[in-house]
Structure 1
Amino acid sequence: MAACLLTTWISLFVVVVVGVPSAVVPGQKNITAHSGQDVTFPCRAPNNKAIHVKWSRTDLGEEYALLYRDDRIDLGNQHQSFQNRVDLQDRRMKDGDVSLILKNVMTTDAGTYECKVLVGKEMRLSNTIRLTVDPPAQTGGGTKDGGKEVEEKEAGGKEEKLYLRIAGPSVAAVLFAVGFFLIYRKCKAQQKQGSYEPPTELQPV
């Protein structure tokens, strides 16, 4: 009995934890913004000390969003889409704060951002942030009916998100229970087969 239960739990662990790929990168933060907003990407230097920080987006290659060194922003290889739109939250980098401010966010700004800080003689990754940007809301042409339609769509979207939040864990719990029952039943059946003894009259003398 105990062995069967242990086997069941181990099997479920392998299926749920190992067998299901995760879309979440360890240590990665996620930020969702609306077009036109200003966004702050938090980052702190190791040991609360920084003199050189680089913010980049993983799809830009050698170009970067912001490079700050020698007490100024280096524009040498800055991607043109970030020019005059980015700055450090505190250029003095007090207490190692090297957070980035991105102004007037656009849908093209979506992506994965990396904060690297100079530690000794090498740049080390200090934070990774995934930015998602929602497109501008439709106004419905400025009419009352159009505006009402947008409000209804937004309300429907909120209800759908709420439903998913509630239903998601419930569905997962049901699937987990069903999986546990099926694996346990199979385990018990195998135990019965292994412990089967023929009738007395069929046993060898």
Structure 2
Amino acid sequence: MSNVTLRWILFVCLLCSCWLIHSASAGRLYLTVEGKPGDNVTLQCQGTEEFTTLKWNKPDLKSEYYVYFISDKEVRKQYQHESFQDRVELKDPNMKNRDASVILKNININDAGTYECYVGEGGRFKLINRVTLTVHQPGDETESDGNNRGHVGLAVGLSVVGVILVAVGVVAFLIFRKRSTEQNSY
């Protein structure tokens, strides 16, 4: 294998690793949050572009009402499910840096489940992420402080980067070995 070929292989490996890292970071977030009854928890959501409408949904409610709904920077309580009345507020009321995170107050066992954050403009919505809330009973062995978050995209991205680094290492080893063999044959 010529030096030019080996350089092209290294170039392609580096290009692929950059693309995979970008793809993993651009993907949707799948977060987990844990707490116990009475805790306040933050459901994270970060918009990627400007939006005028925000809605937090809990699909297992099987209702036309939402956990939280804002349109034109105004909270629309008439669209809020009764079980979330007066318990949900924006983490940042000004939504600086497109922060659409909400604080769910005084959680209870019925709040456990998956929440979806959508942002939009002009009636079109985009799913930004899903947050799974687990509510532990006091004394439960898996009880935590309410801030335990998992990021599947990060785990996948790091795994992919690890595989790529191993591949680059193997290619580098082959290059080194080939050069050593060529120098010894002279």
- TM bin, normalised by shorter chain, reads 0.5 to 0.7
Residues 19-57 of structure 1: CA distance to partner in whole angstroms, max 9, x if unpaired? Answer: xxxxxxx8421111111110001101112x232100010
Spell out structure 1 runs of 4+ moving beyond 3 A. Answer: none
| Structure 2 residue aligned with 1:167 | none
| Structure 2 residue aligned with 1:123 | 125
| Structure 2 residue aligned with 1:68 | 70
Residues 174-204 of structure 1: CA distance to partner in whole angstroms, max 9, x if unpaired? Answer: xxxxxxxxxxxxxxxxxxxxxxxxxxxxxxx
8 Å contact kept, 1:50–1:93: no
Instruction: Please state whether the residue corresponding to 2:77 is helix, strand or coil.
Output: coil
Q: Structure 2: how far apart are the matches of 1:81 and 1:120?
A: 28
Unaligned ranges ≥5, structure 2: 1-27, 143-186
TM-score of the pair, normalised by structure 2: 0.57
Higher alpha-carbon Rg:
1
The 5 A counterparts of 1:1-205 are 27-47=29-49, 49-61=50-62, 62-119=64-121, 121-137=123-139, 157=141
Q: What is the Cα-based RMSD across aligned positions, in Å? A: 1.8
Q: Which has the higher contact order (CA 8 A, sep 6+)?
A: 2
For residues 45 and 70 of structure 1, do their structure 2 counterparts lie closer, same or farther at Cα, with a shift above 3 Å needed?
A: same
8 Å contact kept, 2:55–2:66: yes
Residues 122-150 of structure 1: CA distance to partner in whole angstroms, max 9, x if unpaired? Answer: 1110010110001234xxxxxxxxxxxxx
TM-score of the pair, normalised by structure 1: 0.52
Paired positions, count? 114
8 Å contact kept, 1:51–1:118: yes
Structure 2 letter corresponding to 1:56: N
Unaligned ranges ≥5, structure 1: 1-25, 138-153, 159-205
